[in-house]
């Protein structure tokens, strides 16, 4: 079944129909979802979703746009949550020089700090990187060697993607691969092995064609599967089977312990 490695069902855009929507997933072929954290406030909502829905897992981390809210209480709470059975990663964490809401040094400080926490817990990381290619790569080389990671919503060159794959990381592919202006991501998918690809939505954002501009959900992932299959010259079932295998390997789902 399809594995959505990065969603945000805690977002208030789902408040009106979250239960109905998540109730449709199994029948639509969606077998698992990882709901990614972005703010401290999101963590409790994510944990509640993982407790309510057997197929929903979670991650906890603070998005680079939100690191200005962090203090020393946050790592203590994160440390506790990372011991929960269905919290499977640290993320999303990283650098964002597009919005530039926080200073670069502060972003780097908390990026590295959260990487260190993930290493201490032997957990994978979900990496957000926007217009910060060189600094992200440098930090990953210095502080994330040997760790499991996914470069979420990948937007850089095929050459850099190959370098990440050589480091043992996965490349997150979502709705952008279906966009007319998504040529660079399509070239990346063509260049890297299917064994390095994981599927994601980043919902409620980045809905694929023909729903671009509307609220996204895991129900639209078959459009991403179809695009990846066409690029790789294979069938949709092969894409679904391999990307699910990749996602389960990334998130160590068989090795979790309880709270």
CATH topology of domain 2-255: TIM Barrel (3.20.20)
User: Both ends of the chain: CA-CA distance in Å?
Assistant: 27
Average of per-residue pLDDT values in the chain: 96
pLDDT at 36 over 60: yes
Q: Which string of b and e fits 55-88 if b means at least 16 CB within 10 Å?
A: bbbbbbbbbbbbbeebeeebbeebeebbebebbb
Q: Which of 241, 149, 234 is nearest to 189 (CA)?
A: 234
Half-sphere exposure of 234 (CA within 13 A, CB side): 15
Q: Kindly report, residue by residue over 86-140, the tens digit of the pLDDT.
A: 999 999 999 999 999 999 999 999 999 999 999 999 999 999 999 999 999 999 9
Alpha-carbon span 196 to 249, nearest angstrom: 11
**Average pLDDT score over residue span 199-218:** 98
C-alpha 25 chain-centroid distance: 18
Domain boundaries, the chain: 2-255
Alpha-carbon span 130 to 205, nearest angstrom: 15
pLDDT at 259 over 70: no
């Amino acid at each position: 079944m399809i594995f959505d490695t990065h969603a945000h069902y805690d977002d208030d855009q789902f408040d009106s129909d979250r239960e109905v929507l998540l109730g449709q997933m199994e029948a639509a072929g969606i077998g698992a979802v990882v709901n990614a954290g972005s703010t401290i406030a999101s963590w409790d909502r994510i944990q509640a979703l993982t407790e309510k829905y057997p197929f929903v897992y979670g991650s906890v981390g603070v998005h680079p746009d939100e690191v200005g809210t962090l203090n020393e209480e946050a790592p203590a709470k994160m440390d506790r949550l990372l011991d929960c059975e269905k919290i499977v990663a640290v993320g999303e964490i990283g650098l964002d020089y597009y919005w530039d809401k926080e200073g670069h040094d502060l972003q780097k400080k908390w990026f590295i700090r959260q990487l260190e926490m993930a290493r201490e817990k032997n957990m994978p990381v979900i990496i957000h990187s926007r217009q910060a290619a060189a600094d992200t790569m440098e930090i990953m080389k210095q502080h994330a060697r040997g760790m499991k990671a996914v470069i979420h919503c990948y937007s850089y060159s095929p050459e850099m993607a190959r370098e990440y794959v050589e480091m043992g990381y996965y490349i997150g592919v979502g709705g952008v691969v279906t966009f007319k202006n998504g040529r660079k991501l399509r070239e990346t998918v063509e260049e890297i092995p299917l064994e390095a690809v994981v599927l994601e939505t980043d919902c409620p954002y980045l809905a694929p064609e023909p729903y671009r501009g509307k609220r996204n959900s895991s129900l639209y992932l078959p459009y991403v599967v179809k695009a990846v299959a066409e690029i790789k010259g294979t069938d949709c079932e092969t894409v679904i089977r391999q990307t699910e295998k990749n996602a389960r390997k990334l998130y160590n789902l068989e090795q979790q312990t309880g709270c």
